[in-house]
Amino acid sequence: MEETDLIKGLQNKSHSAINYFVKLHQQFIFVLCVKMTHQREVAEEITQDVLIKCIKNINAFEGKSKLKTWVYSIAHHEILNYLRKNKIPTTELTESIPVVDNEKNILDTFTDKDMKLMIEYFFNQLPADQKELLTLFYLNELSLKEIEAVTALSAANIRVKLFRARENFKNLLSEKDVTLLNQIRYE
Partner 1 sequence: MNKHLTDIEIFEFSHQLLDDATQLVVFNQHLATCETCQLKVEEEKSFSKTIQNNLSVNEKIDVSEKVLSHFQTEIKPVFIDLKWTIYTSIIVSVIYMLSTIPNFIDVAFPKIENLNIFISAVFLILMVDVVVKYIRFKKMVH
Q: What phi and psi, each to the nearest 5 degrees, are found at residue 124? A: -70, -10
Per-residue contact track with partner 1, 82 to 121, x per CB under 8 A?
-----------------------xxx-------xx--xx-
| Distance separating alpha carbons of residues 61 and 59, to the nearest angstrom | 5
163 binds partner 1 (CB under 8 A): yes
Between residue 56 and residue 75, which ones bind partner 1 under the rule CB under 8 A? none
DSSP 24: H
From 68-76, 82-90, 134-142, 174-182, give the range in contact with partner 1 by CB under 8 A. 134-142
DSSP run (H or E) holding 90: none
- Three-state SS string across 125-176, please? CCCHHHHHHHHHHHHCCCCHHHHHHHHCCCHHHHHHHHHHHHHHHHHHHHCC
Between residue 7 and residue 46, which ones bind partner 1 under the rule CB under 8 A? 12-16, 18-19, 22-23, 26-27, 30-31, 34-35, 40, 44
Q: What phi and psi, each to the nearest 5 degrees, are found at residue 43? A: -60, -40
Residues engaged in binding partner 1 (CB under 8 A): 12-16, 18-19, 22-23, 26-27, 30-31, 34-35, 40, 44, 47-48, 51-52, 55, 105-107, 115-116, 119-120, 123, 134-135, 137-139, 144, 159-160, 162-163, 166-167, 169-170
